[in-house]
Chain A
Amino acid sequence: MTTDTAPGDIAPRLRHGLSVPSGLLDYAPAPESSAIVHLRDSYGLFINGEFVAPASGRGFATINPATEAHLAEVAEADATDVDRAVTAARAAFEGSWRDLPGRERAKLIFRLARAIQERSRELAVLETLDGGKPIRESRDIDLPLVAAHFFHHAGWADKLNHAFPGRNPQPLGVVGQIIPWNFPLLMAAWKLAPALATGNTVVLKPAETTPLSALLLAEIIQECDFPPGVVNMVTGAGATGAALVEHPGLDKIAFTGSTSVGKGIARAVAGTGKRLTLELGGKGAHIVFEDAALDQAVEGIVDGIFFNQGHVCCAGSRLLVQEPVHDELMARLRRRLDTLRVGDPMDKNTDVGAINSREQLDRITDLVQSGVDEGAAMYQPACDLPGNGFWFRPTVFTDVAQSFRIAREEIFGPVLSALTFRTAEEAVEKANNTPYGLSAGVWTEKGSRILWVADRLEAGVVWSNTFNQFDPTSPFGGFGESGFGREGGWHGLHAYVKVAQ
């Protein structure tokens, strides 16, 4: 039996999160239980192997962005606390860690990786509660990558002479690390794993809206019997970060976050002799040629900009479509947007979770309004949003010009700006026409074109016929205002060692 339809008629109706689903695909609630997490009322700073009160006695609250419910109070580290932490890290470096054979460091890091694996569900639930990302993502993507980073770098700990043959690699000493709120635990892993494997000690500052998974990681590090002072964590906001950056007792700073803060750190570090790596913002170009596998390109586009609500430095936030397939691709994309489930991050069927903070929500709202004001055409699916919490519907703009703010500025939200191009040359020119240079994606069935385009794209990471693929062996980082230095693999080790020429 066949039926007649108008093109575009096929559209799965979705009303997500209903307690009494009325349609077959309005899936019944499938909540992950939060009972596995045991939240404390308040958390101290992790210094020299212990949780201690902050010098000032001040703390700040961290909330669940999906509900705005209070989760816990977290200590605010000031310059005194940062000094204690750096001192402890220095003592640990000089005292035990630097001289520990690589294979002993490896054992500790392997133990940590194994403990993370065993407590993955707990860590994933905590990550979702504190940050707002869907449990499916923290469970299936974040946590496996976290464990993988520690396993991979544990393997390097006793093989540094193979990584840098004849160059006598040595640790730098004490490193200060500042991480963002979009992948709290994963960014902690990207920072801690190579630093520890190469024999450095660490003072880490988690983001102020997402400190909890890092603090649980600190507990696990404590349980794994790392020597006290090897890993220290100081929680706080911008002032804490500044105190850490400015501390004279550090040999290196590693920062992941916004370009504007990164520039400030570069200025602060200039002339101090501290080494620096920065992983900053991006405005990734997602290029789709007319011969692309369109249905799969739609999936790649959706993953590229709506994964983690678009809170991704390497998000494919600019869609460059070859003109002949623009209308068809956008029609498929709009239809696919209608199937995205926005809602409770703790529901296992949620595709798009909460925006991380009110501040970020305001920024996104503001930039989206600018898109409308500048004349772009906006599409959002008509999905219901929960009452409280911070939410933004997946959004696609068409009729976008390169000069629009939504095409130039990093929105860091679930907002895609689509532009057209005619030739591969024009695609490359438009893709590179940005001060950023972190990531790009290319969709085409023609292998020679993938190679031609990838060669010319000024982006640290180029994905072809896929997007958002990460692996601890694969070096990640950008060009230009997206920062410098690489994380992951052999390239990522360079940042944490000094070598003879």
Chain B
Amino acid sequence: MATSLTTGATTAAGGSVAPWEPRAADGRAVRVAPVDEVALTARAARLRTRSIKTTSKAALLDLSIRIMDLTTLEGADTPGRVRALCAKARQPDPLDASVPQVAAVCVYPALVGVAVQALQGTGIHVASVAGSFPAGLSRFDVQLDDIRAAVDAGADEIDTVLNRSAFLAGRHQQVFDEVVAAKQACGAAHLKVILEAGELGSHDAVRRASTLAILAGADFIKTSTGKISPAATPAVALCMAEAIRDVADQTGRLVGLKLAGGIRTAKDAWHYCVIVGETLGEDFLHPDTFRLGASSLLNDVLAQRAKLRDGRYADSDDFRVD
């Protein structure tokens, strides 16, 4: 096997592989800035000390719902389970018509048809994980078929995973090419690329992977599959937000950010809104560019919303489990 001296990337057939260099669509080089771990973590922690009260709290609670991708990704998901989730997506609290709808429902490809039917006419997007979620290590042609099938079934958003195996082995060009192909397979559907930040080992790698995915055509970059820990963290959210900002500055293309995995409380949600908003601007806090992937989060947000409205906490059974 021939090894490239610069990156150590190899091909099975022998012969060196040119190292992947980040470039914009017009060929200009894109710089990937280094990340200082300590300072990044400190900045994310400092942003969590923002005190969100009264009208700001109400506004961010409502935003958290409007940007939520209500998710179920279990082997045990049945049509009944998915229909129940979709009912919740349409009307999170049937006793309070002021509660907004969520942005999307996220399911496995086999359940896309069920979700499409259940959400017809609501404007709520149907997102499907596809392309060998969560490990991303099926044969690549099978992954592309998976994506196309999900789109055919009616999904208008596709969440694929980055090939961490190839990324960590240094085959960044391959990772790039796979994202390009996935984007093509999506057709009109938008593509979210899940970096699985918890496996990448450093925030430098997260920044590099973010840049790679964006330059390869991702419409959104996403933190995690939610299947391993650590998933979304404040430092990862800040790192990816800075990467999005940097690529937008250099190329003019602004992509979206989705945080997923381990976001359970309303406080987590609004702190993420603060981290992302103070980095990317208020206008970024919109379902077209910012999403939270979650399941149990919705009930905590509803409970906090009810407390603001009623002045006291409700019983947990006041919010349906779906």
What residues on B are CB-neighbors of A294 within 8 Å? 33-34
CA distance A30 to B274 in the complex (A): 15
With contacts A10-B254, A24-B277 taken as known, whether A5 is within 8 angstroms of B38 at the C-beta atoms is no
Q: Are B56 and A28 in contact (CB under 8 A)?
A: yes
What residues on A are CB-neighbors of B256 within 8 Å? 1-2
Number of residue pairs A-B, CB distance < 8 angstroms = 118
Q: Are A7 and B36 in contact (CB under 8 A)?
A: no
What residues on A are CB-neighbors of B39 within 8 Å? 293, 296, 299-300, 465-466
Closest residue of chain A to B243 (Cβ to Cβ) is A295
Q: Are A10 and B43 in contact (CB under 8 A)?
A: no
Q: Are A13 and B273 in contact (CB under 8 A)?
A: no
What residues on A are CB-neighbors of B277 within 8 Å? 12, 24-25
CA distance A295 to B279 in the complex (A): 10
What residues on A are CB-neighbors of B51 within 8 Å? 27, 30, 348-349
Mark contacts of A27-51 with chain B using CB atoms, 8 A cut-off: 1 yes-contact digit, 0 otherwise.
1111000000000000000000000
Q: Which of A276-325 contact B (CB under 8 A)?
A: 291-297, 299-300
Mark contacts of B257-288 with chain A using CB atoms, 8 A cut-off: 1 yes-contact digit, 0 otherwise.
00000000000000001100111111011001
A445 at the interface (CB under 8 A from B): yes
What residues on B are CB-neighbors of A293 within 8 Å? 33-36, 39-40
Q: Dominant SS at the B interface?
A: helix
Q: Which of B28-46 contact A (CB under 8 A)?
A: 33-36, 38-40, 42-43
Give the size of the chain A interface in residues (CB under 8 angstroms). 40
What residues on A are CB-neighbors of B49 within 8 Å? 136, 140, 348
With contacts A299-B43, A465-B36 taken as known, whether A7 is within 8 angstroms of B281 at the C-beta atoms is no
Q: Are B55 and A3 in contact (CB under 8 A)?
A: no
With contacts A1-B190, A4-B253, A30-B53 taken as known, whether A12 is within 8 angstroms of B36 at the C-beta atoms is no
A339 at the interface (CB under 8 A from B): yes
Contact of A296 among B43, B55, B250, B289 (CB under 8 A): B43
With contacts A24-B59, A25-B277 taken as known, whether A12 is within 8 angstroms of B43 at the C-beta atoms is no
Q: Are A2 and B254 in contact (CB under 8 A)?
A: yes
Q: Are B248 and A5 in contact (CB under 8 A)?
A: yes
What residues on B are CB-neighbors of A3 within 8 Å? 254, 288-289
What residues on A are CB-neighbors of B237 within 8 Å? none
Q: Which of B46-64 contact A (CB under 8 A)?
A: 49-57, 59-60, 63
Q: Are A2 and B253 in contact (CB under 8 A)?
A: yes
What residues on A are CB-neighbors of B55 within 8 Å? 20-21, 28
Q: Are A13 and B50 in contact (CB under 8 A)?
A: no
A375 at the interface (CB under 8 A from B): no
What residues on A are CB-neighbors of B280 within 8 Å? 10, 12
A23 at the interface (CB under 8 A from B): yes
Contact of B255 among A2, A9, A30, A348 (CB under 8 A): A2
Closest residue of chain A to B246 (Cβ to Cβ) is A295
Give the size of the chain B interface in residues (CB under 8 angstroms). 46
What residues on A are CB-neighbors of B245 within 8 Å? 10
A500 at the interface (CB under 8 A from B): no
With contacts A1-B288, A10-B245, A28-B55 taken as known, whether A296 is within 8 angstroms of B252 at the C-beta atoms is no
Q: Are B254 and A30 in contact (CB under 8 A)?
A: no
Q: Are B34 and A12 in contact (CB under 8 A)?
A: no
What residues on A are CB-neighbors of B159 within 8 Å? none
CA distance A264 to B242 in the complex (A): 49
Closest residue of chain A to B288 (Cβ to Cβ) is A1
Output the residue of B42, B249, B274 with the most chain A CB within 10 A: B249
Mark contacts of A137-160 with chain B using CB atoms, 8 A cut-off: 1 yes-contact digit, 0 otherwise.
000100000000000000000000
What residues on B are CB-neighbors of A11 within 8 Å? 281
What residues on B are CB-neighbors of A9 within 8 Å? 248
Q: Are B250 and A7 in contact (CB under 8 A)?
A: yes
B219 at the interface (CB under 8 A from A): yes
CA distance A297 to B33 in the complex (A): 11
What residues on B are CB-neighbors of A339 within 8 Å? 278
CA distance A178 to B4 in the complex (A): 65
Known: A20-B55, A25-B278. 20 other contacts (CB 8 A): A1-B190, A3-B288, A4-B252, A7-B250, A8-B249, A12-B281, A24-B282, A25-B274, A27-B51, A28-B52, A30-B52, A30-B53, A293-B39, A295-B33, A295-B246, A296-B35, A296-B39, A299-B42, A465-B36, A465-B39
Can you sample 28 A-B contacts with CB below 8 Å?
A1-B256, A1-B289, A2-B219, A2-B255, A7-B252, A9-B248, A10-B248, A10-B254, A11-B281, A13-B281, A24-B60, A24-B282, A27-B56, A28-B54, A28-B55, A29-B53, A30-B51, A30-B52, A136-B49, A294-B34, A295-B35, A295-B242, A297-B36, A348-B51, A349-B50, A349-B51, A445-B34, A445-B36
Closest 3 pairs (CB-CB, A-B): A30-B51, A296-B39, A348-B51
